[in-house]
């Protein structure tokens, strides 16, 4: 019996907590939008709040999960090196440039453990992805948050000035979360080229596949010559693996060795590794995800335009749009209609960050917000 045959027998069904023939695992993996990858498991609520890919896992990744489940009782060493090799091939680097983690958030935590200290400030934009600054709760260090400029790019001039006082860690989220905006890569490159090695750059490119702005390009070109540059990416977005937790850092071999000293050595787990390898081999997955994202974005922009609500041009799978009234009240009203639509991102409290779901989910959001307008709520 082959691996898939094993999983689809009653033995595998028993492992999944089901008695009799068939497999709960296979049934779950075979669901198409109807479990609605964009919906919560418990009810019909649509989740447009976490920048997830609503298409769900690629068919090849689902097959890989079924094949790999029989190795769930084994440590993942046999999957780790094949994943590193496939990832190196996919992004065009060497295997010794790669650090694996449980999503990009672990890579950010590892980088914090490696480079931060009481006398090494973290320089970030305001607002930006907040997880990295939250690590100061357990690893005390100073956070210097510098407001975005009027065009919502990182204020490189002020960030650069702040870094000159002492060794520093500089975090760029590009495209930026929550604004979806681009900071010109040429301006970042100019700083990296001139910066001392005591300035460490963490380049978070979680949304790079969605970018359409030609002023952005990846920072990978620096990793062979600049040990102070770490590029951070994730399988959570374009590859729809947020629940499986797989991310990675790419850096100079000496830097990668330092980072790897802080990682969990048995990461990632068997299923995440198998799905990651299969996802990279699914040549149509990225294109399908981008096409769906563009369709949902078009529905969103048309709706906002009809309502006269300003939105920020986005290079990601979400956007920020202005609301009239109280943000918390708006979110609560959306939640009451079965739509989760983001959280606070100070100081932009008159904007809501909206993740793009499937087109039919965005139609439901559009209908709901138009109803809010008729009721005078927005």
pTM score above 0.85: yes
Per-residue pLDDT tens over the stretch 231-259: 999 999 999 999 999 999 999 999 999 99
Quick one: CA dihedral 130, 92, 240, 370, positive or negative?
positive
Q: Is the pLDDT of residue 25 over 50?
A: no
State the average pLDDT over residues 75-90.
96
What confidence score (pLDDT) does residue 226 get? 98
Q: Is the pLDDT of residue 3 over 90?
A: no
Per-residue pLDDT tens over the stretch 256-292: 999 999 998 888 999 999 999 999 999 999 999 999 9
All structural domains of the chain, each given as residue ranges with its CATH number in brackets, are 23-58+284-378 (3.90.1150.10), 69-281 (3.40.640.10)
* Residue 37: partners with Cβ closer than 8 Å, 6 or more residues away: 52, 53, 54, 55, 56, 240, 358
What confidence score (pLDDT) does residue 354 get? 98
- Three-class SS state of 13: helix
Quick one: CA dihedral 320, 131, 315, 215, positive or negative?
positive
- Three-class SS state of 249: strand
- CB distance 319 to 354 below 8 Å: yes
Per-residue pLDDT tens over the stretch 327-360: 999 999 999 999 999 999 999 999 999 999 999 9
Per-residue pLDDT tens over the stretch 171-208: 999 999 999 999 999 999 999 999 999 999 999 999 99
CA atoms of 173 and 182, how far apart (whole Å) = 9
CA atoms of 330 and 8, how far apart (whole Å) = 45
Q: What is the band of 20 on the pLDDT scale with cuts at 50, 70, 90?
A: very low
57 CB neighbour count, 10 Å cutoff: 23
Q: What is the band of 87 on the pLDDT scale with cuts at 50, 70, 90?
A: very high
Mean pLDDT score across all residues of the chain: 90
Buried b (16+ CB within 10 A) or exposed e, 97-111: bbbbbbbbbbbbbbb
* Residue 252: partners with Cβ closer than 8 Å, 6 or more residues away: 97, 223, 224, 225, 226, 227, 229
Task: Lowest mean pLDDT of 31-35, 115-119, 316-320, name the range.
Answer: 31-35
Q: What is the band of 43 on the pLDDT scale with cuts at 50, 70, 90?
A: low
Question: If you search the block for the tokens 């689902």, which residue do you land on?
Answer: 62
Largest CA distance in the chain: 67
- CB distance 104 to 206 below 8 Å: yes
What confidence score (pLDDT) does residue 26 get? 47
Kindly state the helix (H) or strand (E) to which residue 319 belongs, with its residue range. Answer: strand 318-322
What confidence score (pLDDT) does residue 180 get? 98
The token pair that represents 173 in the structure block: 């989220």
């Amino acid at each position: 019996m082959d691996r898939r045959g094993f999983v689809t027998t009653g033995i595998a069904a028993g492992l999944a907590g089901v008695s009799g023939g068939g497999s709960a695992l296979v049934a779950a993996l075979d669901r198409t939008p109807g479990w609605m990858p964009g919906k919560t498991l418990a009810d019909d609520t649509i989740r447009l709040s976490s920048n997830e890919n609503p298409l769900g896992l690629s068919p090849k990744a689902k097959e890989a999960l079924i094949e790999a489940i029989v190795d769930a009782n084994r440590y993942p060493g046999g999957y780790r090196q094949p994943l590193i090799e496939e990832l190196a091939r996919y992004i065009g680097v060497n295997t010794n440039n790669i650090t694996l983690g449980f999503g990009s958030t672990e890579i950010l935590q590892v980088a914090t453990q490696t480079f931060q200290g009481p006398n090494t400030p973290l320089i970030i934009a305001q607002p930006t992805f907040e997880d990295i600054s939250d690590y100061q709760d357990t690893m005390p260090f100073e956070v210097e948050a510098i407001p975005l400029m009027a065009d919502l790019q990182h204020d490189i001039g002020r960030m650069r000035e702040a870094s000159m006082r002492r060794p520093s860690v500089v975090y760029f989220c590009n495209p930026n979360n929550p604004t979806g905006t681009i900071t010109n890569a040429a301006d970042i490159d100019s700083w990296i080229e001139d910066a001392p090695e005591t300035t460490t750059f963490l380049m978070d490119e979680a949304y790079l596949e969605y970018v359409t702005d030609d002023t952005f390009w990846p920072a990978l070109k620096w990793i062979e010559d600049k040990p102070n540059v770490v590029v951070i990416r994730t399988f959570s977005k374009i590859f729809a693996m947020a629940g499986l937790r797989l991310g990675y850092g790419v850096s100079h071999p000496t830097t990668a060795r330092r980072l790897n000293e802080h990682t969990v050595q048995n990461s990632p787990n068997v299923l995440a590794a198998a799905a990651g390898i299969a996802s990279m081999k699914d040549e149509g997955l990225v294109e399908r995800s981008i096409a769906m994202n563009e369709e949902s974005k078009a529905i969103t922009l048309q709706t906002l335009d009809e309502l006269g609500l300003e939105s920020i041009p986005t290079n990601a799978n979400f956007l920020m749009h202005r609301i009239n009234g109280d943000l918390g009240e708006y979110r609560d009203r959306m939640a009451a209609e079965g739509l989760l639509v983001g959280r606070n991102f100070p100081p932009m409290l008159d904007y809501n960050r909206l993740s793009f779901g499937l087109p039919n989910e965005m139609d439901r959001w559009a209908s709901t917000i138009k109803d809010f307008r008729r009721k005078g709520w927005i």
